[in-house]
């Protein structure tokens, strides 16, 4: 039988070491200091290192951008429209209203977010990423991981798989009166799970728990349960995205929302050396936001590259090639996206470089005249402000080296990738309120003013990031995922501290020993 050890309890336990989890942890420490409260935060991450899918993010973080004449009303409208009627407007308002603070929060840790792009279905330029260095997600997670590791109030445990939320009392025979900690298994010893390794079961009491465990787009089992029609598609997710937090919440009677809404990103990279690999690199939306164009097998454009992801995905699947297309960038677009990042992909055999229209045509197996014709039509549409074929109205870069050169020059250097749709993001998850509190449905309560169900928080339980639902509806906009992690991660951290302070007052009044005592 596994050993069960007694552990000194942190006041707050955060499950998950991605952006939502570290935002919650770091904000909790700040908020506790502002409240003059002593605090310990325990971060439990099942993988060997922090980061999760957040470290793979590459398009950036969307936030209100005054330089683009952006407004809260416009950002709100873009996000609500993208959600197709399923987004919770109060959560979206919070997302938008606190977006500038979220940007400042990350910059406060030394993260460069100075480069801007206009991604699909955004009305203006508002998606921020780093000018140079690694992909933006890795840059963000590196900075926040260092900050958390150097904070004495935060303890980080990796290789810790949480399998139960501890609670006290029950309502209606199912829903707990309050969450009071977690039980997890810790694998350690030689081999990292191989020979000589052992697993220790640990129970930790806490005043509040934050779920920041991500989505389930890498779990065939969870996809089969919630979105079986998508189960066979490839995924851009790391193997950690298995829906643990949703299952933990369901065990305590938490309400869920939109679990069937799983986003299929239109452009995952097909590795020519491993074309059937289920896990694929993402071709970030910033490639198209910088001016990359999508071509079918005949070398023709077929869609507005900056439409909603769901629209581009449908157009991809409608191709005779059953989803495969080429993403092509000319010199201007490549420079706008970032040549070092393209070189990173090229080194791994994911991006090919071509000399002029002739080289690109040879690689794609299409006539050079076709590509010149497409370039000419694209640049003419840009000059008129609208493409009659696709309705495109935003043209970040010319097709080739310069606008209008298709007839008389070689086009300069081109870069191309093979892309295909892949599972990318779970819009649905646990239902939360504006303070990131996890909600349960009140089964016996009268309907609300609109005839819908009423909800109440599960005391001591909070959630942020992809484990939650309600913000994105049917379709997530580029950059809104990292934004959601920061906005609601910070909200969860503050709310968890407030809950811990209330719990401390109750213990002091009742003479109850603190967690772990």
Catalytic residues: 265, 288
In this structure, what token pair is assigned to residue 360? Answer: 């690109």
Label residues 377-404 b or e (16+ Cβ within 10 Å = b). Answer: bbbebbeeeebeebebebbbbbbbbbbb
Helices 136-149 and 19-34: crossing angle in degrees, nearest 10, is 40
Tokens of 80: 């609500």
Residue 211, Cβ neighbours under 10 Å: how many?
A: 35
Q: Quick check: helix, strand or coil at residue 41?
A: strand
Which of helix, strand or coil describes residue 142? helix
Other beta carbons within 10 Å of 111: 21
Please give the structure tokens belonging to residue 14: 């955060």
Q: State the Cα angle at 305 between 401 and 257, rounded to 5°.
A: 150
Of 413, 274, 278, 422, which is closest to residue 350 (Cα–Cα)? Answer: 274
β-pair type (12-15, 413-426):
unpaired
What is the Cα–Cα distance from 188 to 517, expressed in whole angstroms?
A: 25
| 3-state SS track over 317-382 | HCCCCCCCEEEEECHHHHHHHCHHHHHHHHHCCCCEEEEHHHHHHHHHCCCHHHHHHHHHHHHHHH
State the alpha helices, DSSP H only, in 69-178: 72-82, 89-97, 99-107, 136-149
The SS3 call for residue 122 is: coil
The three-class DSSP label of residue 111 is coil
The angle, 0 to 180 degrees and rounded to 10, between the axes of the packed helices 356-364 and 368-384 is 120
d(CA 8, CA 4): 13
Tokens (6 digits) for 150: 């150097």
CA distance linking residue 350 with residue 136, whole number of Å: 19
Residue with tokens 């580029």: 478
């Amino acid at each position: 039988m596994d050993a069960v050890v007694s552990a000194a309890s942190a006041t707050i336990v955060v499950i998950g070491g991605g952006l939502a989890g570290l935002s919650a942890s770091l904000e909790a420490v700040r908020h506790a200091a502002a409240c003059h409260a002593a605090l310990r935060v325990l971060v439990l991450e099942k993988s060997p290192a922090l980061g999760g899918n957040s470290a793979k993010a590459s398009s950036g973080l969307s936030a209100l951008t005054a330089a683009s004449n952006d407004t809260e009303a416009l950002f709100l409208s873009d996000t609500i429209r993208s959600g197709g009627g399923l987004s919770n407007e109060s959560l979206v308002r919070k997302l938008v209203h606190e977006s500038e603070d979220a940007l400042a929060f990350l910059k406060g840790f030394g993260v460069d977010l100075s480069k801007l792009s206009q991604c699909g279905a955004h009305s203006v330029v508002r998606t921020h990423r780093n000018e140079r260095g690694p992909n933006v997600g890795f840059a963000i997670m590196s900075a926040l991981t260092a900050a958390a590791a150097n904070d004495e109030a935060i303890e980080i445990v990796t290789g810790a798989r949480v399998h139960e939320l501890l609670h006290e009392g029950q309502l209606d025979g199912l829903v707990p009166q309050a969450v009071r900690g977690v039980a997890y298994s810790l694998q350690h010893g030689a081999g990292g799970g191989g020979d000589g390794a052992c697993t220790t079961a640990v129970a930790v009491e806490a005043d509040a728990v934050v779920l920041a465990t991500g989505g389930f787009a890498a779990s065939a089992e969870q996809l089969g349960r919630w979105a079986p029609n998508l189960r066979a598609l490839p995924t851009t997710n790391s193997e950690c995205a298995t829906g643990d937090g949703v299952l933990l919440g369901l065990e305590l009677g938490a309400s869920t929302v939109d679990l069937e809404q799983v986003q299929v990103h239109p452009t995952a990279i097909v590795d020519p050396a491993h074309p059937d690999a289920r896990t694929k690199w993402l071709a970030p939306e910033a490639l198209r936001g910088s001016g990359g164009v999508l071509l079918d097998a005949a070398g023709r454009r077929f869609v507005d590259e900056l439409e909603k992801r769901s629209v581009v995905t449908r157009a991809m699947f409608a191709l005779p090639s059953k989803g495969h297309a080429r993403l092509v960038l000319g010199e201007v677009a490549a420079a706008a996206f970032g040549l070092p990042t393209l070189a990173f992909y090229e080194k791994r055999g994911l991006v090919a470089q071509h000399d002029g229209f002739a080289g690109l045509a040879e690689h794609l197996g299409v006539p050079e005249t076709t590509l010149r014709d497409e370039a000419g039509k694209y640049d003419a549409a840009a000059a008129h402000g609208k493409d009659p074929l696709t309705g495109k109205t935003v043209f970040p870069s010319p097709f080739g080296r310069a606008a209008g050169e298709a007839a008389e020059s070689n086009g300069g250097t081109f870069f191309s990738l093979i892309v295909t749709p892949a599972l990318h993001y779970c819009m649905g998850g646990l239902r939360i309120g504006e303070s990131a509190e996890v909600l349960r449905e009140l089964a016996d309560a009268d309907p609300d003013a609109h005839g819908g169900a009423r909800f109440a928080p599960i005391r001591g339980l909070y959630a942020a990031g992809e484990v939650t639902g309600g913000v994105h509806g049917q379709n997530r906009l580029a950059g809104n995922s990292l934004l959601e992690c920061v906005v609601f991660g910070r909200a969860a951290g503050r709310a968890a501290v407030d809950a811990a302070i209330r719990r401390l007052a109750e213990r002091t009044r009742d003479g109850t020993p603190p967690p772990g005592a």
